[in-house]
Amino acid sequence: MTEKEKMLAGELYDSFDPELIALRDRTRDLCEEYNRTPGSDRERQNVLLDTLLGGHGTTVHLESNVWFDYGFNTKVGENFYCNHDCVFLDCNEIIFGDNVLIGPQCGFYAATHPTDPAVRLKGLEYAKPIHIGSNVWIGGGVKVLPGVTIGDNCVIGAGSVVAHDIPAGSVAVGNPAKVIKKV
- Catalytic residue annotation: 113
Q: Using alpha carbons, select from 89, 91, 135, 132 the residue that is nearest to residue 108.
A: 89
Q: What is the DSSP letter of 63?
A: P
How many whole angstroms separate alpha carbon 47 and alpha carbon 56?
A: 12
CB contact at 8 A, 4 and 20: yes
How many whole angstroms separate alpha carbon 103 and alpha carbon 85?
A: 9
Radius of gyration of the chain from Cα atoms?
16
Q: Characterize the bridge pairing of strands 111-112 and 124-127.
A: antiparallel
